Chain A
Amino acid sequence: MSRHDTALYRKELYTPFNLVAGIILIIGCVITVLRFTKGLGTVTHLDDNYPWGIWIGFDLLAGVALAAGGYVTSSAVYIFGMKRYHSAVRPAILTGFLGYALVVFALNYDVGRPWRLPYPFIMQQGTTSLLFEVAACVALYLTVLFIEFTPAALEWLGLRRARNIVTKLTMLLTIFGVVLSTLHQSSLGALFLLAPSKLHPLWYSGYLPVFFFVSSIIAGLSMVIFESTLSHHYFADKMDKTHLEEKEGVALGFAKAASLVLAGYFAIKLIGIAVDNNWHWLATGYGLWFLAELLGFVALPSLLYAVGVREKNLTLIKWTSGMTVFGIILNRLNICLIAFNWHLPYAEKYFPHWMEIGISVFILTIGVLVFRFIVTRMPVLYEHPDYKDTHH
């Protein structure tokens, strides 16, 4: 590398994004050292009332929901045969894989003794526990997503035979992925069935597992549109003709599906209120907050997606996807933190320590950097020239 090349490389490296990401990584590493040397008490505001903070509410519950794009997209393309969305599969699988990998990574910070994470599989007998089911499904689904993603890595490495063997497993892996996702997405909601006296009645419902599963489909569909919007903004030069041509169809198709599922979700949320006769709670402070979530981040996005699809207004669809993603995060935070322990006086409520937020931002930054590393090298946003028209 000549001196000129080195200078150019350095100039490319010192971008504002890289500098901010670098600072976040350094701070994150310092907090990581504090977490694992001084313990949870030093870096978190967790206590006996709130043993689960934002590392569970945001990193895990919202993370798992937003990583649902993998199973939603692959089942649309491979099971329902909607091949016109094929270009969305690899970015969605990659987002899903990174999402789940970071969920497991974040879990290492949250659990008291992270080296015991494999214990559910080797030490205990409690296979009826919901947490066991979630642990088993997440571990298996992370493996499934890894295998589903390997064709892109194998094409990049030039390992044609291995790539061809893995692509033969596509349908099997897709079906396995849907089964595992149905199980653990709903079980994450079912975890809160254990706390009827702690969770506010408007959020508590016997239908919580159904709510979590249905909203994960919305999260997956919206996340594909949201991620695609960002990818087209930052990695347009990495995309091939097919990807750019299918872009509009993917956004319109996924927005239409999201609009309908949001309408269905709105309906079952109303049924949830009706079967428990919780209408009177709507006229309280928490009720207004519940209505803000239900009307502002479920009913409104459903309508906006529908208008976007009718008018073929991609800008409206993109903004709505961001709004829906925010709504899903808000829903998970409401259930896990805001409407949890609603009887407690305000002074005893949980608010995350700045270092908890720091770790969440640190993990998110790692995700963005790994995503960028992969899409700038591997055939994710384009078809590898040696494998054109060998859709699996």
Chain B
Amino acid sequence: MEFYTLQEFMTYTKGITYLLMAAILVGITGFWLFLTDRDEN
């Protein structure tokens, strides 16, 4: 991917980061459930 301006670079990397954040929010929630579903109350 070629970037010619800082604006292009930021738009691209921020976009990827936001998508990653959404995946992480879902992933960490799933991982938390995996980690704790056998906990005794």
Contact = CB atoms under 8 A, between A and B. Distances in A.
A240 interface: no
Interface in B1-41: 1, 9, 12-14, 16-17, 20-21, 24, 27-28, 31-32, 34-38
A8 B36 CA distance: 52
Overall SS of chain B's interface = helix
Contact of B20 (A256, A260, A271): A271
Nearest to B37: A310
Nearest to B16: A274
Contact of B24 (A270, A276, A277): A270
A260 B35 contact: yes
Residue from A256, A277, A302 having most chain B Cβ neighbours under 10 A: A277
A267 B28 contact: yes
A259 interface: yes
A270 B27 CA distance: 13
Contacts of B9: 277
Contacts of A260: 31-32, 35
Contact of B17 (A259, A271, A306): A271
Interface in A240-291: 256, 259-260, 263-264, 267, 270-271, 274-277
Contacts of A275: 13-14, 17
A338 interface: no
A264 B13 contact: no
A137 interface: no
Contacts of A267: 24, 27-28
A263 B28 CA distance: 7
Given A310-B34, A310-B38, A270 B20 contact: yes
A264 B20 contact: no
B20 A277 contact: no
Nearest to A262: B31
Contacts of A276: 13
A94 interface: no
B29 to A, nearest CB: 11
Query: Which 7 residue pairs spanning A and B have beta carbons closest together?
Result: A267-B24, A274-B17, A306-B35, A274-B16, A277-B13, A310-B38, A263-B31
Interface of A: 256, 259-260, 263-264, 267, 270-271, 274-277, 302, 306, 309-310
